[in-house]
Structure 1
Amino acid sequence: MASGLDTAPANPTEPPQEGSPRSSARRSITLVVLAAILAIIGTLAAGYYFAVRPVTLRIAVGPANSDDLKVVQALSQAFVTSHSQIRLRPIQTDGATTSAQMIADGKADLAIVRGDLSVPKNAQAVATLRKNVAVLWVPATAKGKNKKGAAKITKISQLAGRRIGVVGRTPANVDLLKVILQQYGVDPSKVEVVQFPTSDSVDAIRSQKADAYLAAGPVNSKITSEAIAASTRDGNAPTFLAIDSAEAIAQNHPMYEASEIPAGAFGGSPDRPEEEVKTISFSHHIVARKDLSETTVAAFTRQLFAIRQTVMSEFPLAAKIETPDTDKDAFVPVHPGAAAFVDGEEKTFLDRYSDIIWWSLMGLSAMGSIGAWFAGYLKKDERSNNSGLRERLLDMIATARRSDSLEELDLMQTEADDIFRDTLHRFEHGAIADGALTSFNIALGQFHHAVADRKAILMNAAQNLQRAGAALRVTGT
């Protein structure tokens, strides 16, 4: 008699139990995919945080108590008050030359530099802080004090052999005077130059310590206005020396521009000057290191011009802040970040990081697909094993219908219970779909019917044999 157990596989495949190699591999792959997804999300979050977090820029400016320093300090406070993305940390220096050197040495991110000085090669313009004009004048002479035989100075060419006072201690103003003198054929070595601190200029002029004076600063500079006012004698206004060759100077020295001093720019009665005076001008620039992020510089430039109106109420000089020259042949090249703001091409967060975000999303999608593929690959064997168990169950149905042993039927029933338990376990782990479970339930139901029917037949046959045996025993007696 063929036994149902003889047709069973010698070692039916066991489902992945907790701690089994296949189960551990599935967990490992799941953890790796989850870790990759979390890493991408974390990278995006970190990128967004670093993109919008406040950035502190070091700005070199000086000297102490100068208008430049006061304006920068006011801007720094305004940036904090408005919770701006960019913050400023002023670094006080002893002048524009030192500030420029700090940019060159990488010790500052921004600096206020003077355009007619040597601008570091690694510095690019962000904004024009202010424009300065050169003012040359001869103080008025008090009545009765004219020097006999002394010719009145009305032209720059007449300054040879004279003493010229320069307002301010910076050597840059002396260099500016030399440029002007050389343009008019005056040998600078034939001129005696005396420099006065800005704080002492008024007293020096009143004491008539020089024949003519030079000052450089904004048209509305308080220092220049006070110095010119001190040059007035008995109601007589000083004589302003026009730089008629301003265009030629600008042509030979690109850091300068031809400009004019408007009539009455320095106040007084009569007006000082009484009519427009030709001169040359140069700018003080806010420059940034060339390697400073374009995004950071664009944000700083945007904030600078947004907050300018607020600072103007405290420091009117802030009204002189202008956008930089974006021409390719500009003497101080513009920083790409500042140019993007001026030209309206500043990139938004999405513009700057859209590619990264897109590729990250693609990475997440790819990770999900890879994870699904690995999960499907790991479950392939389980699905194959489930099909084998279902086929085994179908074979057991045929075997049960032919079986002549109740003991064999009980053993098959026990095996079917094990298969049922394993199938439910696989279903819970996603290795079996709903449709496959339905077909399995149908096969299991058929098996139970086959076993029940066969047991009923065998039990009836056994009872019939017992009754027949009992009848024979009665007949024999």
Structure 2
Amino acid sequence: MALDLKRLFSRSIVDGPGVIGPAGPPSPRSVRHKMTLVAVAGALAVVAAVAGAYYFAMKPVPLRIAVGPPNSDDAKVVQALVQQFSRDHSSVRLRLVPTDGAAASARVLAEGKADLAIVRGDLEVPKNARAVATLRKNVAVIWVPPTAKGKKSGPKITKFSQLAGHRIGVIGKTQANVNLLNIVLRQYGVDPAKVTVVQFSTTEIGEVVKDQKVDAFLAAGPVNSRITIDAIAATTREGGTPTFLAIDSAAAIAQNYPIYEAAEIPAGAFGGSPARPDDDIKTISFSHHIVARHGLSDAIVAAFTRQLFAVRQQIITDFPLAAKIETPDTDKDAVIPVHPGAAAYVDGEEKTFLDRYSDYIWWSLMGLSAMGSAGAWFASMMRRDERNNNTSQRDRLLDMLAVARKSDSPEELDRMQAEADAILRDTLNCFEHGAIEQGTLTTFNIALEQFHNAVADRKALMEAVPMPPLRSARAQVA
């Protein structure tokens, strides 16, 4: 049904006994009640909008993180992060996506089945991966075990060129370790095809050493890796000192393969007596990274990075590997491009709540201002008919003033006075509604006072000088 403003606000003159003047306007109390309800509804809507925005802004965000293999050091560290984030009621929570290893984790991220992943830097990194943190740095350790007692020994191996024709045991089933060995062999002019590679798991070291199946070993992991330390100890259990092969060309390898870096293994890193090794050894290193999908929100990644480094110290006691977590490389030529959210945290440019939502807040305020202006215009349009009607009633009052000065009928004067009272009531209502200003009300008050004075003077005159019956000023004019 269309809104008829004239029907709502117009006044009509109704003839008949006891009804004089325009119909009464809406009750001020009902108008105020409606305005109050509208104001309360608007306030509740604003509060609901703010509360809803705050809820969605502060609601914990779950992120899926791919890591493997199960029970590995990486998986244990991530599990510790999951538990710590939950205990701290952090804004970002983690959900584990178990995989068979770093390569499988990379595939899961590339397929969009995870938001974060632990990947190995010397493997193929998904194109949509962006670095968030360096979980740990790994070094390549290559050593020749001492000849067991009672066993026939061949020529002692002291350099890489002597590995041709020998069997090399690679700890771990991943192809990445074999690729690493091949790169080192080629650097020293050894054809990988002339070397027999035997891969075995960490639980098979004792058997391999016992059967003397290999002439040298390669392990890749952190300097303080328990797997590497135990493997070296197992190969020297019967006495003797292992020979560590230094990769003196580590810088050249890093130049040709940016995924690797030149590094050093400090003397005594693997314990034992005498110290293993007995001097610093040059080698190459690579990293395990925490990466995120490129499309993941900058704010979410920044929050995760902040939480990661905040809880790092809390889990070091149970997982010393957490001490190796480092910030990502933010250089533009980094092997794995850094995620903008992580870069914002590292560079101290992380956006606050107001920074992220200031545009929305500004546009909301602009919208509310526009709605207020539109509401004011609409209210002014609704009062326009009321103002126009009040103006016509004021003119009617002035006309009645002229008629009252000539009227000869007390009944007519009474009717006009009752009509003036109705006009007064309507004018006061208009003033309360804001349809007329104080100056207009003052002008009306002067006209009303003059009308009442004219009626009083005319009645006093008719009492002093009786007039012929049924005569009136209108009849005289006619």
TM-score bin (small chain): 0.7 to 0.9
The alignment status of 1:318 with 2:322, answered yes or no, reads yes
Counterpart of 2:63 in structure 1 is: 57
CA contact (8 A) 2:131 2:292 kept: yes
Helix, strand or coil: the match of 2:405? helix
Q: For 1:203-352, what aligned pairs fall within 5 Å after superposition?
A: 203-352=207-356
Flag the 1:346–1:419 CA change in 2: closer, same or farther, 3 A: same
- Cα distance, 1:205 vs. partner? 2.5
Counterpart of 1:90 in structure 2 is: 96
Aligned residue among 161, 164, 167 for 1:163: 167
Q: d(CA) in 2 for partners of 1:166 and 1:72?
A: 26
Counterpart of 1:470 in structure 2 is: none
CA contact (8 A) 2:82 2:94 kept: yes
Flag the 1:14–1:157 CA change in 2: closer, same or farther, 3 A: farther
Counterpart of 2:473 in structure 1 is: none
> Aligned letter for 1:355?
D
- Cα distance, 1:176 vs. partner? 1.1
> Aligned letter for 1:172?
A
CA contact (8 A) 1:206 1:230 kept: no
Helix, strand or coil: the match of 1:124? strand
Helix, strand or coil: the match of 1:402? coil
The alignment status of 1:128 with 2:134, answered yes or no, reads yes
The alignment status of 1:71 with 2:77, answered yes or no, reads yes
- Cα distance, 1:144 vs. partner? 4.3
Counterpart of 1:369 in structure 2 is: 373
CA RMSD of aligned residues (A): 2.5
Q: d(CA) in 1 for partners of 2:110 and 2:348?
A: 29
- Cα distance, 1:313 vs. partner? 1.1
Q: d(CA) in 2 for partners of 1:230 and 1:268?
A: 11
> Aligned letter for 1:413?
Q
Q: d(CA) in 1 for partners of 2:212 and 2:41?
A: 81
Q: d(CA) in 2 for partners of 1:265 and 1:146?
A: 30
Helix, strand or coil: the match of 1:462? coil
Counterpart of 2:474 in structure 1 is: none
Greater shift in the superposed pair: 316-325 or 381-390 = 381-390
Greater shift in the superposed pair: 367-376 or 344-353 = 367-376
Counterpart of 1:401 in structure 2 is: 405
Q: d(CA) in 1 for partners of 2:259 and 2:280?
A: 22
Counterpart of 1:422 in structure 2 is: 426
- Cα distance, 1:391 vs. partner? 2.2
- Cα distance, 1:195 vs. partner? 0.8
The alignment status of 1:390 with 2:394, answered yes or no, reads yes
Q: Deviations over 1:418-437 (max 9, x none)?
A: 22232233334332334433
CA contact (8 A) 2:169 2:200 kept: yes
CA contact (8 A) 2:25 2:426 kept: no
Helix, strand or coil: the match of 1:344? coil
Identical positions, percent: 67
Q: d(CA) in 1 for partners of 2:40 and 2:177?
A: 67
CA contact (8 A) 2:22 2:423 kept: no
> Structure 2: which 5+ residue stretches go unaligned?
1-11, 15-20, 470-478
Helix, strand or coil: the match of 2:246? coil
Q: d(CA) in 2 for partners of 1:73 and 1:34?
A: 49
CA contact (8 A) 1:164 1:210 kept: yes
Counterpart of 1:141 in structure 2 is: 147
CA contact (8 A) 1:129 1:285 kept: yes
Aligned residue among 360, 371, 382 for 2:364: 360
CA contact (8 A) 2:13 2:23 kept: no
> Aligned letter for 2:215?
D
Aligned residue among 436, 441, 444 for 1:440: 444
Give TM-score, length-normalised by structure 1: 0.88
CA contact (8 A) 1:205 1:227 kept: no
Helix, strand or coil: the match of 2:310? helix
